[in-house]
Amino acid sequence: MAWLGWALAALGFMGLANLGMKAASMRGLGSASVLFWVVLGELPLALLYWAWRGRPIGPPAGAAWGFGAGVFTAVALILLNESFARGAKAAVAVGIMNANFALVALLAFLLFREQLQPSKVVGLAATLSGLWLMAR
């Protein structure tokens, strides 16, 4: 499970990023400006990481999926920042957004044939139930 440490680190940094977006919104930054600064902060690190990994472009189909993921990420962040601008509590809005794991699990099952054991389905249901309780 060499991947687990990386995933947990991603959890921590994404949590800090989401908290930062809410803090920026609370300090008067408009939702479009929040996204602008987020992307500006991401770009140098993305370029450094790309260069460190040997500047791979990859096959066109992979590049298209990667580009599409970037577009979807931008739309998700726009929507999240709009929810903050309209008074959403950070924990609830981010929790709802991050419930996307249920969609990811379903689509990974359908598209990539990843298995969903019954224990994982129960875990998904429990987490979604918790989010429903938080949003009430």
Domain residue extents for the chain: 3-88, 99-136
pLDDT of residue 131: 83
Query: How high does pLDDT run on average in the chain?
Result: 93
pLDDT of residue 102: 86
Q: Which long-range contacts (CB under 8 A, 24 or more apart) does 97-100 make?
A: 97/18, 98/14, 99/127, 99/128, 99/131, 100/76
With a cut of 90, say whether residue 43 has pLDDT above it: yes
The 10s digit of each residue's pLDDT in 50-67 is 999 999 889 999 999 999
